[in-house]
Structure 1
């Protein structure tokens, strides 16, 4: 499996997790998160393996220490992804490397 397929697969799995959550009165939160993640997965899948966004994820260690494994985010990146609910797909992919390097998880309104 290639890097873009691995990333897209991870994002789709987290979108399914969001869709499966049952929370009364969430005001559509889980649905918004799921749609944003599905959009990001589709975008990621369309990127070539040598795209600068994919290269930045590799350099940040999101595909293992040598950039050749499956997409495996650390806890902070997983939190960023799990709570992503708006914005363009490239914005999510751009937000991941700084968080993977120890930066703060950005807050979104």
Structure 2
């Protein structure tokens, strides 16, 4: 949503890829969420519905409302991946763990 160039995104991905502990990852996730929430709640209704931003990998931009939907579904996708990974490793997790 910030329309960063590909090289900037690559550096950000490398920084997150270097995180070693669950605590570091959780802290980075919380900081990212806080930044995202601050941005989304700062938008006027008009901006939320009509402002378009374009990442380097798309030909056309998307509205901020569409970005919110894309981001939310992406987070849930990875949550499901983590759940499945924990199950495969033999951890005692169930569907209730996803929603608590």
When the two structures are superposed, what TM-score results if normalisation uses the length of structure 2?
A: 0.28
Q: Which has the higher contact order (CA 8 A, sep 6+)?
A: 1
Asked which structure has the greater CA Rg, the reply is: 2
Choose between structure 1 and 2: higher helix proportion.
2
